[in-house]
Structure 1
């Protein structure tokens, strides 16, 4: 992640990965994991799902969704641990990213206590699904801005963006096929 002393630069070149992107992505991946694992493993949430959408419907989360979420969170933990262990130059988390993360998790805490009182667990995990969808829309802005300021994408793999994008397209395609198959949009 860090290249030291290359091409006459300072001892450590600045990190080319936006810390803000990484913390927003981490929030997105945790939200997605909580949604997938809760809907896949919890009989109480599955019961609420069937009561809302009908007992003929299938749960929209498969084992591969849960496995992907776990994999993604673990990889993000590894990246964040590397960020904490290695030199970052003068780069730090921005106040905007920290504020977004704090607002998201504070909102989750409030929603948890609302759900706890009313036992609306399906509603609560739908909040997590909404969070992950919103984070998809905003998480790339810090990295794109950093690349713009540096006038370079050097050090940031477009492959990860393409994999993320194609995974989202395939996920929504899978949901469309399942919806058509079940006759329920």
Structure 2
């Protein structure tokens, strides 16, 4: 029969798993309803699946691999790693949903400026080369598999920090949390608190306080979640509360429709102004053309007048000579 503390640990574990798992869906649904990922960091969407892939492998190895668990016991005075089944379920599920959300960034609308940063492109390359090298060393028995697993946990921690910083920066630069789901963060904070509580409780029940630091992935993930979630809550509810995103997409759809209507109205006014300017331009052009024609006519009259004057002079002189002869 399970002891009270063990039962409490299971309750905490599966509750945090549910909270953290559900936290992925508000953003996924919001993107689907808006058919857009505007307002999201592409670094966040790209790094998230990689981090949870590493976390899934790490948890699976610590939970099910006899080789890794034996190596862990050798380092921790015979104690097993503090990894529960709910940790594995959460990590695998999170990896799948994060991959789906990343796929939305390739299908739905996004701003041209939304690109993976050059810095994280370089980091991804270095991480890939490091994982390849360490896996090869572990295969050749030059490195323990436990060391490889712990490295995977550290990759997850880096990715968690690296994906959160760009999102916080995007919110700051836009002075808005529009297009971004706060429910995701509230659930994430709940999961982080419960996960940390379960880890501490399990280590206390097992009589091994090193079990807290012996699972750096779970410990670091919980602390990072609580720290960044606190920042995001302040951004959403305090700093940029006038520009909140919508969790169900209806408010966002209304705002998008209003923005589109406003754009069409401005375009219509621009066309009217353009038409009015065009009419005035045509009138001025007509007046200039008429003035040119008047000038040409006056010049023609002057030329004809100039030509008639010599002719009249010659005619008068001819009449004078004729009068002289007849006299």
TM-score grouping bracket, smaller chain normalisation: 0.7 to 0.9
Range with bigger deviation, 85-94 or 12-21: 12-21
- Aligned equivalents of 1:147 and 1:45: distance in 2? 41
Please, which of 33, 40, 43 is the counterpart of residue 20 of structure 1? 43
User: If the length of structure 1 is used for normalisation, what is the TM-score?
Assistant: 0.85
Which residue of structure 1 aligns with residue 183 of structure 2?
A: 159
- Aligned equivalents of 1:103 and 1:80: distance in 2? 21
Q: 1:184 to 1:94 in 2, by over 3 A?
A: same
- Measured after TM superposition, the shift of residue 68 of structure 1 is 0.4
Range with bigger deviation, 157-166 or 89-98: 157-166
- Aligned equivalents of 1:147 and 1:66: distance in 2? 32
Please, which of 135, 144, 150 is the counterpart of residue 120 of structure 1? 144
- Count how many residue pairs are aligned between Structure 1 and Structure 2: 177
Which residue of structure 2 aligns with residue 35 of structure 1?
A: 58
Which residue of structure 2 aligns with residue 78 of structure 1?
A: 100
- Measured after TM superposition, the shift of residue 27 of structure 1 is 2.1
Q: 1:171 to 1:52 in 2, by over 3 A?
A: same
- Aligned equivalents of 1:39 and 1:150: distance in 2? 41
Deviations 1:7-49 (A, max 9, x none): xxxxx97712111111122222112111111111211111212
- Measured after TM superposition, the shift of residue 92 of structure 1 is 1.9
Which residue of structure 2 aligns with residue 176 of structure 1?
A: 200
The answer as to 2:76 corresponding to 1:53 is yes
Q: Which of the pair has more CA radius of gyration?
A: 2
- Aligned equivalents of 2:175 and 2:166: distance in 1? 14
Q: Is the 8 A contact 2:41 2:166 kept in 1?
A: yes
- Structure 1, unpaired ranges of 5+: 5-11
Range with bigger deviation, 92-101 or 124-133: 92-101
Which residue of structure 1 aligns with residue 109 of structure 2?
A: 87
More helix by share: 2
- Aligned equivalents of 1:171 and 1:106: distance in 2? 31
Q: Is the 8 A contact 1:147 1:153 kept in 2?
A: yes
Q: 1:120 to 1:95 in 2, by over 3 A?
A: same
Q: 1:67 to 1:21 in 2, by over 3 A?
A: same
Computed over aligned residues only, the root mean square deviation of the Cα atoms, in angstroms, reads 2.1
- Measured after TM superposition, the shift of residue 175 of structure 1 is 1.5
What secondary structure, in the 3-state scheme, does the structure 1 residue paired with 2:81 have?
coil
Which residue of structure 2 aligns with residue 9 of structure 1?
A: none
Which residue of structure 2 aligns with residue 96 of structure 1?
A: 119
- Aligned equivalents of 2:85 and 2:37: distance in 1? 39
Which residue of structure 1 aligns with residue 88 of structure 2?
A: 66
- Aligned equivalents of 1:129 and 1:3: distance in 2? 34
Higher RCO by CA contacts (8 Å cutoff, separation 6 or greater): 1
